[in-house]
Structure 1
Amino acid sequence: MSLIHSMAAFALASSITPGPVNIVALSSGAQYGFRASQRHVAGATLGFVLLLVLMGLGLHELLTLWPVLTRVVQWAGVAFLLFMAWKLAADDGRLSTDDDGQAPTMFYGALMQWLNPKAWLACVAGMGAFVADGEAQLVWQFAAVYLVVCYLSVGCWAYAGTFLRGYLGNPRGMRVFNRVMALLLAVSAGYLVVPQTLNV
């Protein structure tokens, strides 16, 4: 398998699997439609790729010098996940009638990645596996592969949500769906808290 194929396989495995960013993409697609959800998809993709590039160019060394920064990011991620879960749980379940509803913004998608411990772990693991020597050309090559794969992966979740939209045509069904998504986000946050508590 070539290096590009290996990079793409890694990117797919870490991007397509369930996580907070994909849960929000699914929920956004269901509530606001595919087109409006593209802001979240693009923001999440660009936010991740920026984090990946910075990690490849030396951000991981800063985290090694100041491990408290890692702890701050983890707890900020927990707080952000709980905030998103609360917003979903409190939603009234009314579907947007057009594609310009209050879907998550591009900034929101990027911020999610920067506060998503799964994204940080994927960046560290990916750069360790493919760009261990910090060669700039490989950093940019990996980032280009990830840009395409991540966009398509998060986009698939938004599209799946759009497909579900047809089955959630009433506010009650949408409220139930949103609360299930909120519960999944809260569980993700809880999963992050437990290791923190055990390490104190």
Structure 2
Amino acid sequence: MVDPIVLAAFIPAALALNLTPGADMMFCLGQGLRAGPKAAWLASAGIATGGMIHVAMAGLGLSALVASVPWAFDVIRWIGVGYLLWLAWQALRAAPPADAPPKGAARDAFRSGLLVNLTNPKVILFVLAFVPQFVRPEAGSVLGQFLVFGAVIGIGGFVINGLVGVFAGSAGQRLARGSRILDYLTAGIFAALAARLAVLEKA
């Protein structure tokens, strides 16, 4: 059982982190631009689900094992780089006009958000550095506490990242209707995220 006082201290800290622009927010922004509000919400849901998986792994001790193995960190990182570059390429490939979202883009947004989150090793390190500060072994199940804190982060992130994507999609599609500017902008966002992940260092 999570101590209510600890939870009260955790919620504003988690909200501040959710509001900080980062890779997850930019990814949802890109999905919103490319395929509209539905895709933004689905991408945000995928990211939140990936975050819960990371938190569960941390609670079970698996993330600490991965973080302690240098080659595992790099393998996960380069898989993420490759996937983001593939998404950038897909955004540029024979896309329909900007006022018609690519076929299947919204459907695939959840999966894309999930994979992008799971292949970002920085999330593993973040969870291991941040969440344990609030876990109290004497309060009960450590895994249960990790899951509660992960749910707080996940719900906040889902709402905030989803709203960012919805706003970007609505505004972007109005401003660039009938052109391919949204495709290039989305591809640029995904490529920039890939470059950011490529230069990521473990420490």
TM-score (structure 2 length as normaliser): 0.77
1:137 equivalent to 2:144? Answer yes
C-alpha separation in 2, matches of 1:71 and 1:26: 26
Q: Answer yes or no: is the 8 Å Cα contact 2:34–2:91 preserved in 1.
A: no
Instruction: Report the Cα offset of residue 65 of structure 1.
Output: 4.7
Task: Give matches, 1:120-199, under 5 Å.
Answer: 120-131=124-135, 135-172=142-179, 175-195=180-200
Q: Answer yes or no: is the 8 Å Cα contact 1:55–1:127 preserved in 2.
A: no
Shift of the 97–85 alpha-carbon distance from structure 1 to 2, 3 Å rule, reads closer
Q: Answer yes or no: is the 8 Å Cα contact 1:52–1:143 preserved in 2.
A: yes
1:46 equivalent to 2:49? Answer yes
Shift of the 75–35 alpha-carbon distance from structure 1 to 2, 3 Å rule, reads closer
Instruction: Report the Cα offset of residue 166 of structure 1.
Output: 4.6
Q: Answer yes or no: is the 8 Å Cα contact 1:27–1:181 preserved in 2.
A: yes
C-alpha separation in 1, matches of 2:170 and 2:178: 16
1:25 equivalent to 2:28? Answer yes
Q: Answer yes or no: is the 8 Å Cα contact 1:89–1:182 preserved in 2.
A: yes
Instruction: Report the Cα offset of residue 164 of structure 1.
Output: 1.3
Q: Which runs of 5 or more residues in structure 2 are unaligned?
A: none
Shift of the 100–183 alpha-carbon distance from structure 1 to 2, 3 Å rule, reads closer
Shift of the 39–13 alpha-carbon distance from structure 1 to 2, 3 Å rule, reads same
* Secondary structure at the counterpart of residue 167 of structure 1: helix
Instruction: Report the Cα offset of residue 93 of structure 1.
Output: 5.5
* Secondary structure at the counterpart of residue 33 of structure 2: helix
C-alpha separation in 1, matches of 2:50 and 2:100: 29
C-alpha separation in 2, matches of 1:65 and 1:161: 38
1:113 equivalent to 2:117? Answer yes
Q: CA RMSD for the aligned pairs? A: 3.0
Matched positions, count? 195
Shift of the 100–35 alpha-carbon distance from structure 1 to 2, 3 Å rule, reads farther
TM-score (structure 1 length as normaliser): 0.78
C-alpha separation in 2, matches of 1:36 and 1:64: 31
Partner of 1:69: 72
Partner of 2:7: 4
Instruction: Report the Cα offset of residue 105 of structure 1.
Output: 3.3
* Secondary structure at the counterpart of residue 95 of structure 1: coil
Q: Answer yes or no: is the 8 Å Cα contact 1:56–1:131 preserved in 2.
A: no
Q: Which runs of 5 or more residues in structure 1 are unaligned?
A: none
Q: Answer yes or no: is the 8 Å Cα contact 1:11–1:146 preserved in 2.
A: yes
C-alpha separation in 2, matches of 1:3 and 1:91: 51
**Letter matched to residue 185 of structure 1:** F
C-alpha separation in 2, matches of 1:169 and 1:61: 45
